[in-house]
Amino acid sequence: MTTQSVLAEVGAERTRQDAQWGGEERDDALPLASFVQLIGDYAAWARVKAREGSNVEARQRLVQVAALAVAAVEALDRRGSARAEGTPSGENAKVAGEGSAPRSGGLSWE
């Protein structure tokens, strides 16, 4: 799988989560500590599944972890807080696979 296809899965999982849990309004009401707890819980679940040899289920949980992390960052950005200096924002921010140059060593931002 390519980075682009994995990120598309994460985007689809975000859409599913929004449909199930209420989207931006609920995300914006959730404290950052709650997001971190959820991310940790799902990561732990992935670890258990990996230890059991269930890579498919572990991978599914990791996609959920990534989608939860995206939700947390989006909520923080809407609050106008915690954007790292030098981090691209707005129209100039692009994730690798969305019209940007190929990545090297991680997600690429232009």
**Confidence band, pLDDT 50/70/90 cuts, at residue 83:** low
Weakest-pLDDT range from 35-39, 65-69, 80-84, 104-108: 104-108
**Confidence band, pLDDT 50/70/90 cuts, at residue 106:** very low
Asked if residue 74 belongs to a domain, the reply is: yes
Q: pLDDT at position 85, please?
A: 54
Q: pLDDT at position 87, please?
A: 56
Asked if residue 87 belongs to a domain, the reply is: no
Q: Which residue has the higher pLDDT, 52 or 109?
A: 52
Asked if residue 12 belongs to a domain, the reply is: yes
Asked if residue 76 belongs to a domain, the reply is: yes
Domain that holds residue 58: 3-81
Asked if residue 89 belongs to a domain, the reply is: no
> What's the rounded mean pLDDT across residues 15-25?
91
Asked if residue 86 belongs to a domain, the reply is: no
> What's the rounded mean pLDDT across residues 34-50?
97
**Pairwise CA distance, residues 105 & 85, whole Å:** 21
Find the angle CA(64)-CA(99)-CA(83) to the nearest 5 degrees: 55
Number of structural domains the chain divides into = 1
Asked if residue 104 belongs to a domain, the reply is: no
> What's the rounded mean pLDDT across residues 15-28?
92
Asked if residue 103 belongs to a domain, the reply is: no
Report the length, in residues, of the chain: 110
